[in-house]
């Protein structure tokens, strides 16, 4: 993460994202073993977009911190 003022926040965000990705993977894998409800698909898609947005935000902050 580098050493800068937001390093601790970014690290915590990545740890939280890791937990969210694990939960999303579990939800996405549910369809292999059972019925999937429409709201579960919606949740999976929306949360995937939110995770991507968070990752892009971290990358942007990292790029700006190096300037």
53 assigned to some structural domain: yes
State the total domains in the chain. 1
CA angle 30, 25, 31 (to 5 degrees): 20
CA atoms of 57 and 55, how far apart (whole Å): 5
Q: Is 4's pLDDT higher than 60?
A: no
Check: CB of residue 23 under 8 Å from CB of residue 40. Answer: no
Residue 29 lies in a domain: yes
Query: Model-level pTM greater than 0.95?
Result: no
Tokens 């740890």 label which residue? 15
In b/e form, how buried is each residue of 24-41, taking b as 16+ CB within 10 angstroms?
A: beebbeeeeeeeeeeeee
Tens-place pLDDT, residues 11-54 = 787 888 888 888 888 877 876 667 778 888 888 889 888 888 88
In a domain, 2, yes or no: no
DSSP annotation of 5? T
Q: Identify whether 1 is part of a domain.
A: no
Domain around 42: 7-65
């Amino acid at each position: 993460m580098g050493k800068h003022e937001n390093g601790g926040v970014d690290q915590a965000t990545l740890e939280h994202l890791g937990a969210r990705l694990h939960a999303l993977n579990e939800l996405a894998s549910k369809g292999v073993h059972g019925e999937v409800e429409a709201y579960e698909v919606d949740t999976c898609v929306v949360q995937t977009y939110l995770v991507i947005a968070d990752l892009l935000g971290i990358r942007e902050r990292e790029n700006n911190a190096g300037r």
